[in-house]
Amino acid sequence: MKEDRWNRTISFALIGVASFSSLLPIVLAVMNALKTTVEISTNPLAPPTQLHWENFTSAWRNAALGPSLLHSAEVAGLTILMVCITATPCAYVLARQKGKGWRVLIFYFMASITVPVQLYLYPLYFIFAKLGLVNSIPAVALIYTAMFSPFAIFLLRTYALAIPVALEEAARVDGARPWQVFLYVILPMMRPGLLTVAIIVGLNAWNEFVVAVTFLQNDSNVTAIVRFYNLTGQYSTDWGEMLAAAIMIVLPVVLVFVLLQRRFIDGMTAGAVKS
C-alpha cells in the first residue's frame, strides 16, 4: 500500500503540471485582453490592475466582428443541416446492407477521411472560380459537408447498428415502405447520435481555416476566423484588442463545450478507441 501512495503522489504531480501548461496560454490571453498595450508590454504575466473592457467594444467595432460571426454561424448551420440530411440515410444503409459493393463503399468513405485537403483544394478552387462559386457561403458549406460527412457516417452507423432489426421488420410487416421505415422508425432512434454529429460538425465548421481562407476573400462574406486572421499578424501591436476579438470568437465554442462536454469528448474520440 506504500507503493499505492507513491503512485498517487506521482499522478497528482503530473496532473498538476499538465493542467497548468494547458491553461497558461488561455489564462494569459484572458488576462491580457483586459489590459492596455502599455501594461501588456511592461509585464505580460501580471494580472490587470484595472479591467479594460473597452478592448472588447473597440475590437467588436474595429474588426466588424458582428457580421463575420454571423457568417460563421451561417456556414456552421448550413453544414450541420447538409451533413445530417445526407449522412443519416447513408449510415443507415451501411449498417444494414452486407455484401461486396457496400463494403467497397465503406472503404471509400474511410479512405476519403485520410485524403489531405491539399489533394483536392487546387482544382476545386479553380473549378469553383469558373462556376462563380468563390465567395459563396453555401459553396463553402458544401465543401465542409463533403469533408465532415464521412466522420458523421461512421459515428451514426454505430448508432444504427445498435437499433434492433426486429423493430424495422415489424414496421415492414405492417406494410411500411423503406423510406417510411427510415423516417418513422430509424430516425427518431438516431436522435442522440445526430446531436453529437451536429456539435462536432458545427465545431469543425466554425474553426475551419484552409478552405475558409481560400474560398472567402471579400470582407463582406468572411467567417470570424478568416476575419481574425486577416486583421492580425505576427507583428501585431494592439494585443489587448486582438485578444479580446479572439475571446469573442472562441467563447461560443467554449460555452457549448462546458454545457455538453460528454458529447464533445465522446464524439471526438469515437473511432479512435477500439474495443
CB 202, min distance to other proteins, A = 11
Q: How far is the CB of 191 from other proteins (least distance, A)?
A: 18
d(CA 88, CA 251): 29
For residue 113, the surrounding DSSP H or E stretch is helix 100-114
Q: Residue 231 Cβ, how far from other proteins at the closest point, in Å? A: 10
Instruction: List the interface residues with other proteins, window 48-77 (CB under 8 A).
Output: none
CA distance readout (Å), 242 to 60, 227, 246, 266: 10, 11, 6, 32
Sequence-distant (6+) residues with CB within 8 A of 163 are 186, 189, 190
Q: Site for other proteins (CB under 8 A): which residue of 135, 163, 232, 260? A: 232
Per-residue contact track with other proteins, 172 to 191, x per CB under 8 A? ------x---x---------
DSSP secondary structure letter of residue 171: H
Q: Out of 58, 64, 125, 133, name the contact with other proteins by CB under 8 A.
A: 125
What is the DSSP secondary structure assignment for residue 177, as one 8-state letter? -
Rank residues 149 and 221 by Cβ distance to other proteins and give the closer one: 149
Radius of gyration of the chain (CA): 23
**Torsion angle defined by CA atoms of residues 257, 262, 266 and 268, in that order, rounded to the nearest 10 degrees:** 0
| SS3 assignment, position 35 | coil
Cα distance between residue 61 and residue 80, in whole Å = 29
Residue among 11 and 220 whose Cβ is closer to other proteins: 11
For the CB of residue 166, give the shortest distance to other proteins in the complex, in Å: 19
Part of the chain binding other proteins (CB under 8 A), chosen from 48-56, 59-67, 114-122, 167-175? 114-122
Residues 139-168 that bind other proteins (CB under 8 A): 142-143, 145-147, 149-150, 153
Least distance (Å) between residue 244 CB and other proteins: 12
Q: Give dist(CA 249, CA 243) in Å, integer.
A: 10
Closer Cβ to other proteins, 163 or 268, answer by number? 268
Q: Strand, coil or helix: what is 196?
A: helix
Residue with cell 476573400: 217
Stretch that binds other proteins, among 21-29, 52-60, 166-174, 188-196 (CB under 8 A): 21-29
Q: How far is the CB of 61 from other proteins (least distance, A)?
A: 19
The window from 48-56, 62-70, 169-177, 230-238 that contacts other proteins (CB under 8 A) reads 230-238
